[in-house]
Amino acid sequence: MSKRKHKRRKPPKKRKIVKRNSQQSAMSRFHNDATQNLGDDVIIVESELRMSEVIGDFISPYADDMETVGQYEKLVTIAAMAWNSAILPPEARDLTVEQMLKSIPTGVEDGLVDFFDELLARKRQYFSHINRIIVNYEVTELDDGEWYLAVASILSNEEVAEYEAQQNNNG
């Protein structure tokens, strides 16, 4: 009986996902797009809650499996859809899943629906207290190979009321 040595496969190189960047270029573009589409009534509110960090945490169990920035961007796309769907009423959530399924190749549906359901459950379990809707995101590969995620979101109704109350008290 011969003994064969098994070559140990190296685990894939783990990429550090950059969640915050000193340049505000992505946020500037988000703001410009919003004011162009919605008018000058758009207000950028600085918040301690950074949705790019929240979404980074939301997808962290899956991000290490992504080998390319394109794969990572697809993960963020599905995660953003699941995130927003978890906040919507069930009828709207079903419509979102229907629309998503129309845009994917045949044969992938079951796996994608299962993954989508897993993300919905993760949102409910760990992030149910955050009800911001994601309106835009951008994934960029930086010069050093790191991936940068920028996320723009709309404040929840509770946060809008809190912001307005603060403005009234200060002004």
3-state secondary structure of 60: helix
What is the C-alpha separation between 43 and 41, in angstroms, rounded?
Answer: 6
* Identity of the residue numbered 132: R
The residues pairing with 141 across neighbouring beta strands, listed in sequence order, are 147
Distances (CA, A) of 139 to 52, 64, 67, 87, 147: 10, 15, 14, 23, 7
CB within 8 Å of 156: residues ≥ 6 apart: 130, 131, 132
Residue 37 and residue 30 in contact, taking contact as beta carbons nearer than 8 Å: no
Residue 104 has pLDDT above 60, yes or no: yes
pLDDT score recorded for residue 7? 38
Q: Among the ranges 1-10, 22-31, 99-108, which has the highest mean pLDDT value?
A: 99-108
What mean pLDDT, rounded, does the chain reach? 77
- Tens digits of residue pLDDT in 112-135: 888 989 999 999 999 999 998 898
pLDDT score recorded for residue 11? 37
- Tens digits of residue pLDDT in 33-60: 655 655 555 556 666 678 999 999 999 9
Residue 14 and residue 143 in contact, taking contact as beta carbons nearer than 8 Å: no
The 8-class DSSP code of residue 24 comes to -
pTM score, two decimals?
A: 0.71
Structure tokens at 1: 């009986």
166 band by pLDDT with thresholds 50, 70 and 90: confident
4 band by pLDDT with thresholds 50, 70 and 90: very low
pLDDT score recorded for residue 60? 96
